[in-house]
Amino acid sequence: MALTVSRTATGREFKVKDIAQADFGRLEIELAEVEMPGLMACRAEFGPTQPLKGARITGSLHMTIQTAVLIETLTALGAEVRWCSCNIFSTQDAAAAAIARDSAAVFAWKGETLEEYWWCTEKALDWGPGSGPDLIVDDGGDATLLIHEGVKAEEEYERSGKLPNPNETENAEFRIVLSIIKEGLLIDPKRYTRMKDRLVGVSEETTTGVKRLYQMQANGTLLFPAINVNDSVTKSKFDNLYGCRHSLPDGLMRATDVMIAGKIAVVCGYGDVGKGCAAALKAAGARVIVTEIDPICALQALMEGIPVLTLEDMVAEADIFVTTTGNKDIIMVSHMKQMKNNAIVCNIGHFDNEIDMLGLETYPGIKRITIKPQTDRWIFPETNRGIIVLAEGRLMNLGCATGHPSFVMSCSFTNQVIAQLELWKERGSGKYEKKVYVLPKHLDEKVASLHLGKLGAKLTKLTPDQAAYISVPVEGPYKPPHYRY
Amino acid sequence: MALTVSRTATGREFKVKDIAQADFGRLEIELAEVEMPGLMACRAEFGPTQPLKGARITGSLHMTIQTAVLIETLTALGAEVRWCSCNIFSTQDAAAAAIARDSAAVFAWKGETLEEYWWCTEKALDWGPGSGPDLIVDDGGDATLLIHEGVKAEEEYERSGKLPNPNETENAEFRIVLSIIKEGLLIDPKRYTRMKDRLVGVSEETTTGVKRLYQMQANGTLLFPAINVNDSVTKSKFDNLYGCRHSLPDGLMRATDVMIAGKIAVVCGYGDVGKGCAAALKAAGARVIVTEIDPICALQALMEGIPVLTLEDMVAEADIFVTTTGNKDIIMVSHMKQMKNNAIVCNIGHFDNEIDMLGLETYPGIKRITIKPQTDRWIFPETNRGIIVLAEGRLMNLGCATGHPSFVMSCSFTNQVIAQLELWKERGSGKYEKKVYVLPKHLDEKVASLHLGKLGAKLTKLTPDQAAYISVPVEGPYKPPHYRY
Amino acid sequence: MALTVSRTATGREFKVKDIAQADFGRLEIELAEVEMPGLMACRAEFGPTQPLKGARITGSLHMTIQTAVLIETLTALGAEVRWCSCNIFSTQDAAAAAIARDSAAVFAWKGETLEEYWWCTEKALDWGPGSGPDLIVDDGGDATLLIHEGVKAEEEYERSGKLPNPNETENAEFRIVLSIIKEGLLIDPKRYTRMKDRLVGVSEETTTGVKRLYQMQANGTLLFPAINVNDSVTKSKFDNLYGCRHSLPDGLMRATDVMIAGKIAVVCGYGDVGKGCAAALKAAGARVIVTEIDPICALQALMEGIPVLTLEDMVAEADIFVTTTGNKDIIMVSHMKQMKNNAIVCNIGHFDNEIDMLGLETYPGIKRITIKPQTDRWIFPETNRGIIVLAEGRLMNLGCATGHPSFVMSCSFTNQVIAQLELWKERGSGKYEKKVYVLPKHLDEKVASLHLGKLGAKLTKLTPDQAAYISVPVEGPYKPPHYRY
Amino acid sequence: MALTVSRTATGREFKVKDIAQADFGRLEIELAEVEMPGLMACRAEFGPTQPLKGARITGSLHMTIQTAVLIETLTALGAEVRWCSCNIFSTQDAAAAAIARDSAAVFAWKGETLEEYWWCTEKALDWGPGSGPDLIVDDGGDATLLIHEGVKAEEEYERSGKLPNPNETENAEFRIVLSIIKEGLLIDPKRYTRMKDRLVGVSEETTTGVKRLYQMQANGTLLFPAINVNDSVTKSKFDNLYGCRHSLPDGLMRATDVMIAGKIAVVCGYGDVGKGCAAALKAAGARVIVTEIDPICALQALMEGIPVLTLEDMVAEADIFVTTTGNKDIIMVSHMKQMKNNAIVCNIGHFDNEIDMLGLETYPGIKRITIKPQTDRWIFPETNRGIIVLAEGRLMNLGCATGHPSFVMSCSFTNQVIAQLELWKERGSGKYEKKVYVLPKHLDEKVASLHLGKLGAKLTKLTPDQAAYISVPVEGPYKPPHYRY
């Protein structure tokens, strides 16, 4: 693995696929800016006072065109930024090139190996010898994980002199994490400890990363404050739902050109992501079946006319399978071998363990034909039937298409900007402990407000009398915290 | 007003429209039981141990067929029950007759005057001289209100000897409430005080009633524990949403036979009720416009392709207006006079102050033509254009049709039964203070579970390994408390 | 059967349920007029010249509020009218009363026996001794049938002296037809012959009636010209489709209050009526399955995400069954006994032979409980499971609700008016032979045009250059005759 | 323009972008075969008897993966084939490569100039000196046009010695057509005359081409029989409707990644194509407005809840504009300059004259920025606002994405195969005159049948009794010719 870092004329580091794509990336970024009114409003409101001046931000979040607009919003507010992607297939190389050339240190390209992926993550956290970021923008929690595992290893090393042993884990990816930490330890045995000491906090983007944070909070192992951006209404009820409603069919079409109408599609999980996926497939004319563990979500599916069955019930009949659970071991190789010829199997959840890719890869006699990148046909020897797996079981909307569209990402990323502003502003106040926080509702409502004008919407104003009648301030927030939207 | 109470052969009191409708009511109740699996499951699970034995329950909740199944579930669990409706138009007379004959004391008929309405409420709370209910099932909070106002008056009377003065209020309905309390005070100056002392708690059904409870909790004036049933997911995300999606068009069709397709419909408010209404109108082929004060709900409407404008923008163009806000003064007479000829104006929210009925009734020269009960055409003298107002501005789905269908009410009412069981079981334990509580998530999930079998759904079971991975028990609850569904 | 004819003050005959309902009917008619812009435009355009002056029109078409507006449009254009309903349950008594009092001779009430039904039909054709109508407005073809059967019998009688023998047929309804003809023959052996000689033509409303006409045309037995109104685009693609999308759920809700969401519904037939029914059920949250004989219609269902299976596949699983085929023997008693308890069975097609009512009624040991008129529960003795049959297997949307809404009926009935005008205008020209005709496309487009303003639509105008480019006149018609819309 | 023809090892001619893409093309073709059951069934049914043996077929139809399966079906039935695309942007280069290598002479690549386009067309018609095709598969009618214009010029030349003068026309594209004919005339003055003499017939794919054929039939200038495949139900009601419902959002997403939800979209034309486009946009959460000239189609839009307005009403408000009319001069440069910044303008109709590209290109001071191929931003100098034009105003679903998916194209192309078989079989029988024909309904139904199995559908069988009742054969056809589906 010969990974070398390049530098711009001004000396900023980067490693991208092709810096020559920067012009194309810039054109796409300019289009996206028009679709991201929340971020542009942040630039207008906060740019003049440079509230992020002095803040070093590391981001680990899909290096797409939309993320480019986020990064340049952070820099417009005064921050210095280093960035990596949080998925090996999700980088849009032109976006990476434009940002690398113009705005921030970027380490990301489409189609990284896992070794390369973690090298990029480490680079994004590397602010020079003995130094680290003040703030983290995380998606899935890999940057946070690396620091937490690094600190754990450094503490163990200090205590017992023991280095982490990559061979102790069966998980191939975690083995790489431990190797990186081990190599680092030999050079600087306090690197991650200093990093966590410096860190003001992290804002986390997605369900899966948030779940990890709450686990650490519950275990008392969380090392710095965290803002759970995922559970802003303007994130999880928009990005997860409407983003996936857009990007699931986009990924399916670009990868396979399959006609969705008339097909039977199984959506595993009916949370916000699953709801978006099911809605899109239904709208396109598929017959959708949902699998669920949660009786409430199951009943919601039924009220929308969607049957709730088990994967086993449908495995031999369905044409398209989508996992959206955030859990693991959802579609196993034993399921896949029962599927119809050319059944399409994909995952739109964050991690690649919803589909049993290991089981598939190691199935005796299996044959893999790559139709095109991120579209593989796997043929079972017994039946000679093939199934089509998208994006190697990873985030199919980012691997096979371009992810969520700008407008909905503007909602999500405006929450990120507000969270970063809040963490940085309160860095010395003690307001945030080593816990997980959500943004207050008035900020959530503000994020929504910033997106209404673009769509020509006009809000009704409460009279003081009406506000008093329903016991809310005229200016909001309008709902109690438990309100579900 | 000559209101006389009748008695059954066994001596139980009632006042209904026509006891002879009991047979028809019974047939309808039997149909409904098949559609209410949650309530029937409660009977099967709890009936044998009679956990409500000894409990006196007063209910103030639309006296419909579905409510009849609720009442007979409470009695099947051992309770003794007295009931009134919580809306002057919402009683189904056959249901009232069947319950009065067979199961509980009922004081309710379709088309009560406001005086009659509060007489019924008082009767339902009247368990004999000096006595009151142990538990209340409330919808909108009128039973709770009467007790709170009664106690307030009794305290004032004790303190200062002052009787309540009905003429002091401009609100016609509240004047009646004060009159009733005043009359009672003269007979028994401690009646409501004793009642609140006896009361174990109330379970409240709807958004509007819950809002009142939280206000009293905030003011420190809540006199007994309250369980907020409305905010069970299996209530507010089902009854409010899917119930209204069903019953709004039902009410429109029965009242006006109007073709919804092609029409322009304005839905004021895009909460759960508004979402259900908008979905139904859109599905029927209307062009829907939403008005909102809350930017988040507004953005949700936009993502569903629904414009968000103000009432003023649409008032002269739309054909159908529906209020769903839970607020007051939404459609004023000044709006109504600008509307197209035969525009339909209705309210599906709990109280009748969303539409300015007073303004309409007192408009100089206005002419009212009753097409049929609950369907009136009001003609403005200047323009000779009429508008059609449903159910006199009250709950149109219950006034013009039969309200929500049994299946979704089974979800809501199973929550009610569980709440009543919980309050009664913990009556001596001190678990519940004078505060507002919601049911724990595992009970919410249980309610959903009880409704899946009827629809042929099959849940997926988590493996212990998967449960550990997402940090939930195998048996649930599956979601954190803040999850929005 | 004591059927007596009443007379208005002016001597016009009628037999309705209750003439006192005329005021209520008039109010409903006035509301409907606002929703029927096509008919009102006909009154405005043609009223002044009285083009139907002198024409005697007999109508056999559901005596509803909408039909009342049709009748009064015909009289406004100068015609004299006698009317009966074409279904025993479809009359709205208030509409019948208002028309009887104000405008035309009506013989119709909700809930006729079959004997009464044919008595009414005969009365509507009876313009005094030796006389008959000039024109017929038919729906289902019963008026046309009676004349054809009458002429056949008179010819046989003239030839052989043989009277029709009602006992020769096994069909109970046809036995009544023959009885009526037989009675008539004994009084006037040339009655129907003179009637057909006078008749200028018939305009037929519905698929089923049209089918009969084409059969007679093919056999050479058609006795007078016929205009097939059903196959105007503005009829079959609107009334059949959008009318049923409205009135199917309306009928289901009024009859059963059942929650449609979550249920499994089988729609037999996916023609225009079936498409409307399936769309409505899907929109309401049901899981819909279609049965079809035609592979093209089947493929259309699949493209909309609707499975196509056989009735046998679904009979034991579904909750709601709707027949829309226009064929016979669709749901047999052998199917019904396999259904789930309280499965709902109904027919929205014209005749009552889609559902095997005879098989049900004669099933050994079957028990029928009438929940309310037009809603019966039939209990099978072996299983004690009941099924709920609506409107005795007849047109459920007219039997259990009020049929299609005014706006869409305005499209259909404007075609009727135009057809009647055309037949009458050309009565002496020989333009129409004893064949079946459809209205020319420019009239079809005109009907649509008359309905756009009410919905606020604005058409784009072709430039002469554009019109030339696509080879159509600037003013239309815009499509070739085979265009399918 | 240096256009050279290559040859395969076996001597077959071709000109494609890159023959090395043949392997990838083959993989895609194999996937498509699984999705095209109608074509595969034709191979199974007709392959053994080689009914197209001896037939030379020229195709002018988008050279996509789906067309590859069509071509290989024709060759599997014995035909020899030469092919070109019918749109400069619609070729999928990998498909062209695979076919060129394996099956037929192909002259097509993505991004032809107009000169190249007509060169390809001419090559596809060139079966060697003095020779031409027996049959044509046409889409839009360009191959047919070239022959008709060629014959016209040859006749003029024979009569008067006058050569066609390309400079006489203002239409840039027609100038190229005349140039090609002129060059040909100088070499062989009877080339197109001999070609039309040989020609057995053409089967035409699309609305636009069919319109041309009917015009020629009306003028008496049609030179050979034509089968109108477009008006098979299984073509126009499937490919046009469901194909566009799939491929419009696909093209929008691939070209712009724009979020469709929340946007205002104007669809010009509400025929089958417009219906598909509007349905897709609505389903994705856009607010759709339709423009129409035809009152019937307009009323259909309204019944689906879609407003009908003029382009002028919406031009300054909408975000997305799609033309589907088959007419010309729909969106003019005067409209485009009023649009919002970054409004998206595209055409899914066959020809590029729906959008005023010439007006745009020649607008004084306009600036064009190519974001990526087929996605251009045009900036107006006065406002500095840009609009985004897709595929240079041509077929956006084929220019920006991959066109319609395989399954629906299988319906269309199975009609093509059946039409080609029919023309060839009847080549000597005189059955087909120089007129335009549609396929009989039983073949249309057969096409549908062949696609049901893949989707797991089961048809219901008529009993003989039922068939007699509705007067159709048990085996179909089931509908009268005028039936609209």
Joined tokens for residue D336: 């485009």
Is B235 a catalytic site residue?
yes
Residue given tokens 């095997």 in the structure block? C356
DSSP code at position C128: S
Position A361, amino acid:
E
In chain A, which residues have their Cβ closer than 8 Å to the Cβ of B221?
Answer: none
D485/C460 Cβ within 8 A: no
Distance CA A436, CA A433 (A): 8
Would you give the end-to-end CA distance of chain D in angstroms?
49
Joined tokens for residue B67: 């409510």
Which one of the listed residues C21, C90, C232, C415 is annotated catalytic? C90
- Residue A194 Cα, gap to closest chain B Cα (Å): 30
pLDDT of residue D1: 46
Distance CA B8, CA B29 (A): 20
Nearest Cα residue in chain C from B252 = C250
Indicate the residue of B261, B285, B307 with minimum beta-carbon distance to D287: B307
Sheet bearing B343-347, strands edge to edge: B287-291, B264-268, B320-323, B343-347, B386-390, B375-379, B367-372
pLDDT of residue C145: 98
Q: What is the pLDDT of residues A297-340, one digit of tens each?
A: 999 999 999 999 999 999 999 999 999 999 999 999 999 999 99
Q: What is the pLDDT of residues A249-268, one digit of tens each?
A: 999 999 999 999 999 999 99
Is B350 a catalytic site residue?
yes
Give the number of other Cβ atoms within 10 Å of residue D43's Cβ.
18
- pLDDT mean across residues, chain B: 97
In chain B, which residues have their Cβ closer than 8 Å to the Cβ of D302?
Answer: 261-262
Is A142 a catalytic site residue?
no
Distance CA C424, CA C415 (A): 14
Distance CA B67, CA B83 (A): 10
Joined tokens for residue C390: 């609506």
pLDDT of residue A413: 98
pLDDT of residue A350: 87
D303/B286 Cβ within 8 A: no
Neighbours of chain C (3+ CB pairs under 8 A): A, B, D
Q: Burial letters for B465-485: b for 16+ Cβ neighbours within 10 Å, e otherwise?
A: ebbebbebeeebbbbeeebbb
Neighbours of chain A (3+ CB pairs under 8 A): B, C, D
Is C461 a catalytic site residue?
no
The pTM score is: 0.97
- What's the rounded mean pLDDT across residues C418-429? 97
In chain B, which residues have their Cβ closer than 8 Å to the Cβ of C245?
Answer: 261, 284-285
Distance CA D213, CA D471 (A): 34
In chain D, which residues have their Cβ closer than 8 Å to the Cβ of C455?
Answer: 299, 302, 308
pLDDT of residue A2: 67
Within 13 A of B349's CA, how many CA atoms are on the CB side?
Answer: 27
- Residue D82 Cα, gap to closest chain C Cα (Å): 31
pLDDT of residue C2: 67
pLDDT of residue B61: 98
Give yes or no for residue A140 having a pLDDT over 70: yes
- What's the rounded mean pLDDT across residues A4-27? 97
Distance CA C313, CA C298 (A): 16
Q: Are B216 and B431 in contact (CB under 8 A)?
A: no
Indicate the residue of A215, A303, A451 with minimum beta-carbon distance to B471: A215
Indicate the residue of B218, B291, B479 with minimum beta-carbon distance to A294: B479
Distance CA A187, CA A122 (A): 14
Nearest Cα residue in chain A from D65 = A257
Q: Are C20 and C98 in contact (CB under 8 A)?
A: no
Residue given tokens 């219906």 in the structure block? D275
Sheet bearing C386-390, strands edge to edge: C287-291, C264-268, C320-323, C343-347, C386-390, C375-379, C367-372
Alpha carbon of D175 to those of A370, D168, D185, D215, D265: distances in Å?
45, 8, 15, 22, 36
Is the previous residue joined to D133 through a cis bond, with omega within 30 degrees of 0? no
Q: What is the pLDDT of residues C289-334, one digit of tens each?
A: 999 999 999 999 999 999 999 999 999 999 999 999 999 999 999 9
Nearest alpha-carbon partner for A329 in A403, A265, A241, A269: A269
Residue given tokens 């959500």 in the structure block? A438
pLDDT of residue B2: 67
Joined tokens for residue C233: 């685009």
Tell me which H or E stretch contains D228.
Answer: strand D226-228
- What pLDDT band is residue B50 in, cutting at 50, 70 and 90? very high
SS3 of D264-286: the string is EEEEECCCHHHHHHHHHHHHCCC
In chain B, which residues have their Cβ closer than 8 Å to the Cβ of C257?
Answer: 28, 32, 65, 402, 405-406
C285/B406 Cβ within 8 A: no
Sheet bearing B105-107, strands edge to edge: B6-7, B13-15, B105-107, B80-84, B56-60, B135-138, B201-204, B226-228, B436-437
- Residue D70 Cα, gap to closest chain A Cα (Å): 17
Nearest alpha-carbon partner for A274 in A330, A313, A227: A330
Residue given tokens 């009989």 in the structure block? D440
Joined tokens for residue A354: 């919803």
Distance CA A14, CA A96 (A): 9
Distance CA D395, CA D401 (A): 10
Nearest Cα residue in chain D from A286 = D455
Distance CA C483, CA D211 (A): 12
- What's the rounded mean pLDDT across residues B422-427? 97
- Residue D305 Cα, gap to closest chain B Cα (Å): 4
In chain D, which residues have their Cβ closer than 8 Å to the Cβ of C272?
Answer: 484
Q: Are D134 and D200 in contact (CB under 8 A)?
A: yes
The residues of chain D scoring below 70 in pLDDT are: 1-2
Task: Indicate the pairing of strand A13-15 with strand A6-7.
Answer: antiparallel
Distance CA A165, CA C337 (A): 69
- pLDDT mean across residues, chain A: 97
Give yes or no for residue B1 having a pLDDT over 50: no
Distance CA B14, CA D443 (A): 70
Nearest Cα residue in chain B from D307 = B287
- Residue C342 Cα, gap to closest chain B Cα (Å): 8
Task: Indicate the pairing of strand C436-437 with strand D56-60.
Answer: unpaired
pLDDT of residue A1: 46
Interface predicted TM-score (ipTM) of this complex, two decimals? 0.97
Which one of the listed residues B103, B232, B416, B420 is annotated catalytic? B416
Is A139 a catalytic site residue?
yes
Nearest alpha-carbon partner for D287 in D251, D314, D254, D269: D314
Indicate the residue of A282, A287, A305 with minimum beta-carbon distance to C307: A287
Q: What is the pLDDT of residues C43-77, one digit of tens each?
A: 999 999 999 999 999 999 999 999 999 999 999 99
Is B62 a catalytic site residue?
yes
> In whole angstroms, how large is the CA radius of gyration of chain A?
23
pLDDT of residue D130: 84
Nearest alpha-carbon partner for B302 in A76, A421, A433, A452: A452
In chain B, which residues have their Cβ closer than 8 Å to the Cβ of A291?
Answer: 460
Residue given tokens 């098949």 in the structure block? B34
pLDDT of residue D350: 87
Within 13 A of C166's CA, how many CA atoms are on the CB side?
Answer: 12
Residues making up chain A, counted from first to last: 485
| Interaxial angle between packed helices A142-160 and A207-219, expressed in degrees from 0 to 180 and rounded to the nearest 10 | 30
Nearest alpha-carbon partner for D304 in B76, C457, B232: C457
Position D402, amino acid:
T
User: Cα torsion at D38, D43, D45, D47 (round to 10°)?
Assistant: 160
Give the number of other Cβ atoms within 10 Å of residue A465's Cβ.
11
Is C85 a catalytic site residue?
yes
Task: Indicate the pairing of strand A135-138 with strand A264-268.
Answer: unpaired
Distance of CA A60 to the CA centre of its chain: 9
- Residue C227 Cα, gap to closest chain B Cα (Å): 27
Distance of CA A441 to the CA centre of its chain: 22
Is B244 a catalytic site residue?
yes
Is B4 buried (19+), middle (13-18) or exposed (0-12) by CB count in 10 A?
exposed
Distance CA B36, CA C149 (A): 52
Distance CA D232, CA D207 (A): 11
Distance CA C63, CA A306 (A): 40
- Give the list of residues 6+ apart from residue D2 with CB closer than 8 angstroms, or none: none
